[in-house]
Copies of this chain bind each other. A is one copy, B any other.
C-alpha cells in the first residue's frame, strides 16, 4: 500500500570539518520519501520554489515518488545551512531561509486523501494537523517533530498528539517534552498524551520503541564512516513507514522489524552527503545489512 509523506522539501548546504556541500536536496519529506520508496509507492506533499533544480525532480521520479502533491510556487525553495563538529554529533544551524515555505498550506489532491499510511514528517505541527484534517480514516499515522516546535508551538504539538498512532522524537526532545530523564518514563508520559506507539531515537545508539506489547530496543547499524547525519532521523521514520505500508497487516506484528529497516536505511543515509549515498542503494543492499545487523546482536 502507498504511504503519504508530508514534510519539508529543501535545499541543504552542509559543512563538515572536511568538506562543504552547497544546495543538496534535503528536507524531512525528501529524506523520508526516498527512504520509504525502497519498500512501497510514495506520495509526497510539499512545496518548492521555481529555483528548484530539475535534477532533483528527476531524482524524486527515479524513486517512483508521486509528485501530484508537490506545489511549485514562484519564489525561493526553503534553504537550510548547517555545520557539523568533528564528532559528527554536534550540529549548529548557520542559516534558515524559509522562502516559499513561509506561506505554505498543504492541500491534498483528492487521490491522496484516502492514503492508508500517513507520515507527518518534521514540519510545523499546525501543518501536520492540517493534512490530517483532509484525510479519510487513515490506517496508521506517524508524526515526527523537532525541538523548535516544542519550543514555539507546544500547544499545536499537543493537539496533534491526540490524533496520531505513533510519535517519533529524539532523546533530548523526549526530555524536553516530558521533563523525564529516564526514557521509559518519558515514553509513558507521551503515551498519556495520545499515541499508542512512541519511538525515541538515540542516534548511533539506536532507538527505543514503546507500544501495546512493551518495549523494543532497536540497535543502530554501526558505521565505519559517518559522512553526514543530516536526514538520518527522517530516513529512519521513512524506512519504517515504507516497510509497514509494504507489508500491510497488523502494525503490532510488523513494527519491530519495521524499525530495524528504518535503522538500516538511516545508516545508508549517513554514509554520504544529503541523499548522495542512499540514492545509490538497492533494496538487496538494505536486506543484506538487516541480516548483518541480526548477526551483530545475536547471542
Question: Quick check: A88 and B181 within 8 Å, CB to CB?
Answer: yes
* CB-contact partner of A217 in B215, B222, B223, under 8 A: B222
Question: Which B residues lie within 8 Å of A299 (CB)?
Answer: 216, 218, 256-257, 259-260
Copies of this protein, total? 2
Tell yes or no: A196 within 8 A of B by CB: no
Tell yes or no: A152 within 8 A of B by CB: no
Query: Considering the complex, which residues of chain A in the window 175-233 have a beta carbon less than 8 Å from any beta carbon of chain B?
Result: 181-185, 202, 205-206, 208, 214-219, 222-226
Rounded to whole Å, the gap between the CB of A299 and the closest CB of chain B is: 4
Question: Quick check: A296 and B224 within 8 Å, CB to CB?
Answer: no
Question: Which B residues lie within 8 Å of A223 (CB)?
Answer: 182, 184
Task: Give per-residue flags for A72-106: 1 if the beta carbon is below 8 A from chain B beta carbons, else 0.
Answer: 00000000000000111000000000000000000
A222-B208, A260-B299 known; A87+B216 contact, CB < 8 A: no
Q: Which residue of B lies closest to A208 (CB)?
A: B222
Rounded to whole Å, the gap between the CB of A93 and the closest CB of chain B is: 21
Question: Which B residues lie within 8 Å of A257 (CB)?
Answer: 299
* CB-contact partner of A216 in B205, B225, B296, under 8 A: B296
Question: Quick check: B182 and A224 within 8 Å, CB to CB?
Answer: yes
Question: Quick check: A217 and B216 within 8 Å, CB to CB?
Answer: no
Q: Which residue of B lies closest to A89 (CB)?
A: B181
Q: Which residue of B lies closest to A183 (CB)?
A: B222
- State the CA gap A104–B9 with chains docked (Å): 65
Question: Quick check: A222 and B297 within 8 Å, CB to CB?
Answer: no
Question: Quick check: B181 and A296 within 8 Å, CB to CB?
Answer: no
A202-B205, A256-B299, A299-B256 known; A222+B226 contact, CB < 8 A: no
- Listed from nearest, the 7 A-B pairs whose CB atoms lie closest are A256-B299, A205-B205, A87-B181, A257-B299, A217-B219, A217-B297, A217-B296
| 21 A-B residue pairings within 8 Å (CB atoms) | A182-B223, A183-B222, A184-B222, A184-B223, A184-B224, A185-B224, A202-B205, A205-B205, A205-B206, A214-B295, A214-B296, A215-B222, A215-B296, A216-B296, A216-B299, A217-B222, A219-B219, A256-B299, A257-B299, A260-B299, A297-B297
Task: List A residues at the B interface (Cβ < 8 Å).
Answer: 86-88, 181-185, 202, 205-206, 208, 214-219, 222-226, 256-257, 259-260, 295-299
